[in-house]
């Protein structure tokens, strides 16, 4: 299996190469790990990969151009799946690891950083995956978790495969979409409200997006949020 990681911290993945049975699986050629740094695909003299968010707010947002360029540089195998590491994604389950290990020859991992990533980066992914209702400084640890879980399921990684068969957020709402420059990228445009300068309208749009996303993606959290609102 080919594993490609898009990350601003490529050095974080080096320990996987020597990690017990996982490291031995890499050494035996059962899996191959390739890490791609978006900074190497930035086109300005400072190798800038982030920018201020449209509509204002704290932190910096990962730009789409270097990430797209990094992904486009990766060879494409016939059975490929692109996974975006995100606290807004589907909670990771063992069934997901088994599905990816059995159905695909290539997994591509997109690791965010900073305050968040430009919303248009989501268009690259086939699935968004979360390892829990908490926030880390980047997607590297979730990606390593999935790599570990998938590689151990590959034939020959674990000595006795029979043992594999016997194995058994702050205000509850998910975060609203983020956008940064450029305003138009690959035909995907930043919502007009974020460029309006109307901070009241921006706040209302973001609140509505939070509620809609939570209801669609995590109805369990949305039900808890509704109950909380009714008690206030």
| 157 plus 219 within the same structural domain | no
* Within-domain flag for 13: yes
Q: How far is CA 117 from CA 86, 130, 146, 219, 221, in A?
A: 10, 15, 20, 23, 22
Domain boundaries, position 221: 184-231
CB 5, CB 34: distance < 8 Å: yes
| 105 plus 217 within the same structural domain | no
φ, ψ at 155 (rounded to 5°): -55, 130
What average pLDDT is seen over the chain? 93
**HSE (CB half, 13 Å, CA atoms) of 98?**
8
| 6 plus 94 within the same structural domain | yes
Whole-number Å distance between alpha carbons of 58 and 202: 14
> How does pLDDT run across 10-24, given as a tens digit for each residue?
999 999 999 899 999
Ramachandran category for residue 155: left, alpha or beta (phi over 0 → left; psi -120 to 50 → alpha): beta
Q: What is the total count of domains within the chain?
A: 2
Domain boundary among 110, 134, 165: 165
Q: pTM to 2 decimals?
A: 0.85
> How does pLDDT run across 51-110, given as a tens digit for each residue?
999 999 888 999 999 999 999 999 999 999 999 999 999 999 888 999 999 999 999 999
| 218 plus 103 within the same structural domain | no
């Amino acid at each position: 299996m080919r594993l490609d990681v898009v990350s601003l911290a490529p050095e974080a993945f080096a320990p996987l190469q020597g990690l017990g049975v996982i490291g031995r699986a890499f050494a035996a050629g059962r899996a191959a790990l390739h890490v791609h740094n978006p900074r190497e695909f930035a086109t300005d003299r400072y190798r800038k990969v982030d920018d201020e968010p449209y509509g204002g707010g704290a932190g910096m947002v990962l730009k789409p151009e270097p990430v797209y360029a990094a992904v486009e540089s990766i060879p494409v195998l016939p059975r490929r799946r692109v996974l975006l590491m995100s606290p807004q994604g589907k909670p990771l389950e063992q069934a997901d690891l088994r599905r990816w290990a059995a159905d695909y020859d290539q997994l591509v991992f997109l690791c965010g950083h900073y305050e968040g990533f430009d919303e248009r980066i989501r268009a690259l992914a086939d699935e968004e995956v979360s390892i829990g209702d908490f926030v880390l400084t980047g997607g590297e640890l979730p990606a390593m978790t999935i790599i570990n879980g998938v590689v151990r399921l590959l034939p020959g990684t674990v000595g006795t495969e029979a043992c594999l068969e016997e194995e058994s957020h702050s205000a509850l709402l998910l975060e609203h979409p983020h956008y940064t420059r450029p305003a138009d990228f690959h035909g995907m445009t930043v919502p007009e409200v974020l460029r309006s300068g109307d901070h009241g309208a921006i706040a209302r749009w973001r609140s509505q997006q939070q509620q809609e996303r939570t209801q669609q993606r995590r109805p369990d959290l949305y039900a808890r949020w509704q109950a909380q609102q009714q008690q206030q």
